[in-house]
Structure 1
Amino acid sequence: MRYWIALSLCFPLFAMELTLQSGKEDSRPYSILHLQDNIPFECRAHKNEFDDTKRIDCRFSPLSPKKFSPIENAYFKITGAATTKGYTVSIFPKKKMKLYPVAFNLSKSIQTYAADTAQAKQWTVLGYEYIPPLLDAPAPKSSAINFPVRIEKNIEPYVGGLDLKGNPIKITRAQDVTDYMQMKKAYDAKDYAQVLDLADYTLKHYPKTVFRSELMLHQVRAYHERGNHEKVVEIAKQFLRDYSSDQNVAEVLADTANAYGKLGQTADADYFYDRLFKEHGDSPFAAVGMIYKAKQVEFGGSPKRAMYYYQKALDTTQDVDVASQAAFRLAQMELSGGNTEKAAEYADKIIKANPKYLTKVRNDAINMSDMFVYRKDFKTGIRIAEALLNGADPKSAEHEVLLKNLGLRLAQGDRKSEALKRFNEYLKTYKYGDYVAEVRRAKDGLFFEEQESNATGQIKKYDELIQRYGNESVGRKALYKKAQVLFKQKKYKEVLELENELHRLDSEEFPKTNALITQSAIGLEQQYLKEGKCSDAMAIQKMYKTKLEARWDGLLFDCAVKTTQYAVAIKIAEPHLKSKSLPERQTWLLRMAKTQFGLGEYKQALKAGNELVKLLEAEPNPALNEVYRILYDASQRLGNAEGMIRYIKSVETAFPNDFKDIERYTQMVSLGLRQKNEALLQTYARKVMTLQNRTKTYTQTPYIEFTLAQSLQNVEKDAEALQVLKTLNARKLNAEKRSRQQYLIGAVAQKLGRTAEARAAFNASIKADKNSAWGKLAKDALALL
């Protein structure tokens, strides 16, 4: 028996439509995925050695499609990613799947055949568990004849969409639907005047339309884009009243706050920012609001606060454009403040994650590139120039300027061969360009500077020979010699960039070529390890199977952990853990303990740490005393009170009066509170107070003082409790906590018979916060005095 349920999820992505359906055949469930576009596109199945499909990639030509979140069901996981050549939808099987092209429209074609095509307007992916459903016929033989089949009679009519009962779905198109769709198209086309006209007309003539919230939302968006802040406020307030639970409230709050800020009404703006951040802190528009807030306070003359909000937006957003906007402004502000290195970090984030953003702010980006070069940070200035050039249309007027600029930046950065390549590219592309004379002058002076080093002169000579003779004998020898010079200069990355060309050299004529490449890979990996570029170092090791000397194992281990290659890290550590050298074993045990703690493997961290402690008893090494903190922290994470008590003493001995341990002492206070161990509580509470007084840093106040005072009262040390509470007089507390402190002072003073002091404290509690619970208790206490 065969039946199926069409549970369709349609995801319109630019011109493409994706539909996911589920069904059953003889109690065997299956799933069908349809991908359809207006123009033919390619889908390709990647199979393993058992002929099972492990991935299907479908490529579309639009360059800037809308993003969509990964889609999953019991049979598929579907993801999308933009590339320079278009957009790729990838399907991964959770069980089994097969790919079929839909080459014919059976409601129109009367002829079909077994199509083997690379492109089609529609493709079908069948997901199943064991046996493919819907395919009762045996597989065709390789010797079978493929001929067309004509179906001229009994052609099934096309009935359109069906509901769950199999009945045709009837939709009566209303004018408000048409207007709404036209408005969305106008908004996508950035025709905001048309958006407003259609929205106003539809709301006026169809006041009860189901699209009212969407129409008002697009009004807010359009007025926001046009800078009409009064209208944004007017419509947004109505929207927030009528649709307080709408999914787009966060966006409207952000636009409303920004509009009030632009109007100079900062108090109203702050109210809506506060709502946005508190009520919708997990919304993507919270980060957008932080950008708006940053601009508001920056305009108000508070650059530090502005940088705080830009940084917070950068740290919290998942939207690459919002992150790029925040990072770019932070880079500008850091440059203005003279912090070139920090500015370069922000610029680097944009270049790596979203270089196209620089094209949106082209003029500012060009100025930023100029500033980096002026500050002698040629690398960052060049990377910005490269990103701008890569994002420019080769046929645009901007391309000529950006190509010329990149050549000049490369020349200024002493990257002469790259500069020469760009200058030649400019002169070839723009034979009659506006900057031909400037480029020719820069090119002529590129390799003829005074005091040129011998190595540079050699490479110049070899480059000329390579260009002139190519793959001829002289050219091949020049290539080999150039690689040798680069190796001597420790330019290992540049040697590896020549790897493909070097591999083409004859091994008998140039027998040391492979050794040159291998040694360059080792040298580059060592450079990356020294510089902390762990991802690059591990990639080199994986690609070239390098083997470094044991003295590099420490850095290599750290990089393996940072890049989550834990199996590699453990493999590196194992020989050292068995070493006969006691100091070596100690050092590697500490590394393992730290790693296991960082991975959340607290029991294993305790095991490694205790082993190290035993070795330290035999041969102390103060540099490794950090293990006691790891042991304490692991015990705390496991809720092991006995371990906490044991190891906190070791921490105190190893790091006496170290403020870094104040959190650990506070945890011991909490442990004493839970165990009702007044001695334990009081001991560590006093340690916390001592550390705070010594450093004038009161991170645990007033919790620690309130807790200690209560503990002292529990053991009838009321006078001491009163003195502890009075220490808070010199601390900055909010109104509620100040009210609590004064009430507690009054209560203890009353207990000690100091009526006048109690009355003064109760009055101070009421004055601090009469509406708090403590203020009300103080008022009641006064009535009893």
Structure 2
Amino acid sequence: MTPFYLYALEITFQAGKENFDKYTILHVRENTPFICEPQYDDFNNIKKVICAFSKKPEELIKPLNDDFFSVVSEVKKDTFFLIVTPTYKMKLLPDVFDLTKDTTIFKSNVKLSKSWVMIGYKEKFSLLKEDKTPDIGLNMPVTFTENELLYVGSLDIKGNPVHIKEARDVTAYLKAKRKYEKGDYADALSIIDEIIQAYPDSIFMSELIYYKIKVLSKLRHYDDVIALSKVYLRTYSSDENVPEILSLTAMAYSKIGLNSDADYFYDRLFSEHTDSLFSKKGMIYKGDQLSDSGDFKKALMYYTRALNETKDIETAAVAAEKVAKNHLSSAEPKKAQMYVDKILEADPSYFTKDIEDALSFAQNLADKKIYLEASKISQIVLAKLKKSDDLYEEVLKNSGVWLAKTDEKSEATQLLNRYIKEFDLGKFTQEVTTTKDSLFFDSSDQNISAKLAKYDDLINTYNGDSIGEKAIYKKAELLFDNQRYTEVLNMKEQLSALDKTVFKDVDTILNKAATNLMKERLKERKCSDVIDISGEYSIKLSNEFDDGLFNCYMKVSKFNEAKEIASNHIDSKILTQRMKWMYQYADVDFKIGDYKDSIAMGNDLVKLIDKDKKSPYLDIYRLLFDAYQRVGDNDKMIEMMTKITAAFGDDFKDIERYVQMMTLGSTLKDDNIIITYAQKVMDLQRETSSYTQSPYVEFALYQAYLNKDNTTRAMDTLYSLDERELTKEQRARQKYLLGSLLQKQWRYDEAKEEFNKSIEADKDSPWAKLAADAIKLI
């Protein structure tokens, strides 16, 4: 008989055998009537029975099972259900008659009863025969008025009635069992000793000694366990509890250091009772013995065997915890995590059976940074504690603080808030508040402005603390992720002060922010910013940014830096790239005054493009012309001007170079050169209505024509200046020169008129004085 009590609910298993066929009777009783409904399969066999109760217990019963039944419980919508599943076949009967009291019985088809009987069997159960009755018939009650119904009480082992005048030993025995089950071992031992002394011939003597051995073992009175076990094993050698007594005897010997004696009983247990539950428990005790002697590897082997071989959830939980503790003390503590998870999944209530040990185990897990499992165990214990319990506050704190170090941030916040609410000025308020603040770093439900404000608050509140430092780091990360690179760089001093062993990528964040900001400024052509960032952070961008960077260096006149960039590409295997950077290189050389180097690079480029009239780098001719002009190479100037004219025709961009050619013509006293390029200048100025080179060009052209005795062209050139805006002195010069040409042609009246205009233009100029003298001569 195995009873289980839950409030007023009693569940009893009774095993029996009829004609060598085993069966089990499962009895379910409750103070108030309840319903048990069978569910049938396609062959009209009961596949499940569901019993529903009006009362809901404070906690669910743990799963129960034997060879014929498995029993589980659950609560749905405030209704408590008991679900019974047969292993083979079963019968369900309402137990509505008490044969010791009722004098009338009949076939009952009730739906509600205070007691239900379920019979589990394999193929047939000969003690219960069900005759089919016609659908139409009478169900007549059978009443015995003269004689009471037969009732058979307790029988002894021979089948004879047991006559007990008083049943005080039964009552006391049951009381001792209840004390043991509640953990009141001292009281249980006292009651058992009283029963044995008062009832030395009690039919429960084997049970009493059995329970006394178990109580002594719980109380760690190992010498007494050994002494009493010898009596039990000698007297009740065939009792069903022998495997358990063997296991307790072996453990007792190992606890007092007599390991060889312990091994004798372990060997008996493992060889004679291989399939017994207590053989698996004995493996755990054997593992403890080995662990105490320092043989952790062999201990682990026994714990693992017990875990793998047992079908009992509680034993498996104990074995799993032992394996986990073994791994915790080894060099691979993370392996413990898997076994703790097995317990948490299969039997989480295991950790409520020894709260002190469970909390110590949780602390060990936390010490090894296995925070999730540590918190789960702590929370399981917390659910069993009341706020008034001494352990409650610390267990609540640990549950939240440990969970905060995992990915379960939301649940951790709830636990930490619960602590703050329940213990406003508690012993661990500072630690809990700090932990809660640190959880903010993993919050994702706030906008960037709110997060930045929170980071600033944490930085100010925890200045110099690890949380403040983490806030600085997280703020920089947030700014970087949102492409606010300038603000990241503004935090350079704060970031540089962080512990690099903790925040290892601080420099990386700064460099990436500087690099990305530099790229942005390049696109915006804010070259001063680009140069400042590059200098401060020693940023080296990839080649794809060299064009922009080169242009920026040129723009701010950092020619050496620009030349370094160009020099990295002048040997490029890609011809188009090589030509572009050769041109850039020649250009920067020209700007820094290294004309010879510029000419050398320019000529190398000319060799590559000379036959390509559409090359984008034909401007190299202009660059070479300017360079040759600087070094005074007249012949090369003329050569390059020929190439410029061939490539671009008459182009206003070259007007200054045409003027340089005119200057060269004056130097060489070559009026043809002067006339050729002066005429180009005048034509371009007329086309563009831009007269930047007047009157210099006209005066030079006038002189060239005059030198060639082409008075008409010379005079036309001077007359063209009538349409230009000139200074007073320039106008006086123009009119004087015109008058002189007219005078040579004996056109005195016209000459005199031009001389007078010269004087009117600027009477104080040298030209006006010459004009006055000329008039006198006329």
TM range (shorter): 0.3 to 0.5
The TM-score with structure 1 as length reference comes to: 0.45
Q: Larger Cα Rg: Structure 1 or Structure 2?
A: 2
The TM-score with structure 2 as length reference comes to: 0.45
